[in-house]
Chain A
Amino acid sequence: MTGARTSMELHELAVTRWGLRALAVVALLGLAFAVTADGTVSPLILPSPDVIWDALWERIGTAEFRADLWRTLREIAASSAIGVVAGVAVGIASWRFPRFGAVLEPYLAALYAMPTIAFYPILLAVMGLGSGPIILIAAVMVFVPVVLNTVIGLRGIRPVLIKMGRSVNCSSRQLFFKVLLPASAPLVFPGIRLGVMYGVTSTIATEFILADQGLGYRINHDYDNFVIPRMWAGIVIVVLLAMAIMSALSLVERRIRSDLA
């Protein structure tokens, strides 16, 4: 028997962890208050947290915010869905057909290294100013780490597990959902998390460059118009959104591999 922790010990660990996380936020806020109160940092760069707080509340109430949020969420959801589904599918294909994988891999690496965002102006010209080019670029960002991790995850499965699955007469669907997916999850999920994070960053960044709506667009717009407290409110919203997305992904991951939680 390996030393399994009791649920009580785990509970205590979780409490400590959340306590430390809260402490970090409090410390950061304290620092922000300190440097803004005595004028060390100009309010044109960082306003006092309570000013940002007011701007945040004011912003959240507006129809404009809801439209921005909705636009950005849709872009993130669409690019994540496309990138994850295509990435897992291509990952399975290059695992199942190693020759295809061998041909594909150098191009994937190139795609990874290349600043995809450089294509944005061309895409804008071709697809127009809307969600299309933003989703496309973000989907590529999601796609690459998902493919790479899916291939590595599937290759790492012990062959005996697949043999066992086949020996009890699993259909290929059952083999995928009951053996391949959970067995490769410890590597596939970090790929999805990484990919979705890249996708979020890419979405906000492309909106930043040129868009007519969206959370990223609004941050840049407020910056250009010197509405600094509202710009900071926008940044806070993006950070909270990213954290919410990551938590949601962790929840799904824990459902599939409860033993790793």
Chain B
Amino acid sequence: MTFRAKGLVTEAIASVTGTIDKGRFVSVIGPSGCGKSTLLDLVCGLQRPSSGRIVIDGDPVTGPRTDTAMVFQEDSTLPWRTVRENVEFGLEVAGVGKAERAERAREMLEVVGLAEFADHRPRQLSGGMKQRVAIARALVTDPGILLMDEPFGALDQQTRLLVGAELTRIWERTHKRVMFVTHDIQEAVLLSDEVWVMSRRPSVIKAVRQIDLPRPRPAEIIGDPRFHAYTDDLWELLRVEVGPAAEESAA
């Protein structure tokens, strides 16, 4: 997947160019309001760039497509559907038959560890569990690219780490291309193969860092000195974007 998006209507993004190879987990970090979420919306086809284009496996993106799936920061489960029916949603929309839907949803609920909650309603679940339902809903259509917009942003720190570790485990099994937006540097290093650092508006990608930490990565890796080297480096890149100096030059 490659894309170039320039001068959006919102003027959020000045120019962003990047490529995500198959099977790579890429995180995008940047100061708040820099257009990280807009970038995801563009890749998902929910918004159109005012110029430039987004290309997935050779096809330009003109609208939502079946090979991308998005997990949102807010709870996106449908309260009137059971957990299983929520997971089936994308398949149902795509016209997949009832039996196959049920089977694929069951498998995916196994993967995210919610098999026994299939007939529960979302309101009976915790915030972390609802996000796992959303992840299962996104993965069940077997998309080539998983887009995640701060999916753990609304969770508390502990749940965040646990669901994050869970996501790495799921990712290591499915090896999807992932584009993961976050403002949490630790989370980005823990999960990713590659981290893109966006500048403040008008945004550009000012740096790309490869994260060469061994996989599987348990949550304990955050104590590793190499982990710290990565987070320190990224923090240094980000600090000039969010610090007082950044506000001065913006004023």
The main secondary structure of chain A at its interface with chain B is helix
> Which residues of chain B from 67 to 121 have any CB-CB distance to chain A below 8 Å in the complex?
68-70, 72-76, 78-81, 89-90, 92-94, 121
> Which residues of chain A from 246 to 261 have any CB-CB distance to chain B below 8 Å in the complex?
256-260
For residue B18, CB closer than 8 A to chain A, the reply is: no
User: Is there contact, CB below 8 Å, between A160 and B76?
Assistant: yes
User: Is there contact, CB below 8 Å, between A163 and B124?
Assistant: no
Q: A160-B74, A160-B75, A163-B72 are in contact. Are A258 and B80 (CB under 8 A)?
A: yes
Q: 9 new A-B pairs (CB below 8 Å) besides A168-B89, A168-B93, A183-B78? A: A160-B73, A163-B70, A164-B76, A167-B68, A167-B69, A169-B93, A178-B93, A183-B80, A258-B80
For residue B240, CB closer than 8 A to chain A, the reply is: no
Bitwise interface map of A from 154 to 175 toward B, beta carbon under 8 Å scored 1, else 0: 0000101101111111100010
For residue B238, CB closer than 8 A to chain A, the reply is: no
For residue B22, CB closer than 8 A to chain A, the reply is: no
Chain B positions within 8 Å of A168 at CB level: 64, 69, 89-90, 93-94, 141
> Which residues of chain B from 44 to 77 have any CB-CB distance to chain A below 8 Å in the complex?
44, 46, 63-66, 68-70, 72-76
For residue B4, CB closer than 8 A to chain A, the reply is: no
User: Is there contact, CB below 8 Å, between A182 and B72?
Assistant: no
Distance between Cα atoms of A49 and B119 in the complex (Å) = 49
Distance between Cα atoms of A81 and B126 in the complex (Å) = 41
User: Is there contact, CB below 8 Å, between A4 and B89?
Assistant: no
Chain A positions within 8 Å of B94 at CB level: 168-169
Residue of A nearest to B72 (CB): A160
For residue B228, CB closer than 8 A to chain A, the reply is: no
Among B46, B66, B75, B89, point to the contact of A166 (Cβ < 8 A): B46
A7 to chain B, nearest CB (A): 12
Chain A positions within 8 Å of B126 at CB level: 1
Among B68, B72, B79, B141, point to the contact of A164 (Cβ < 8 A): B72
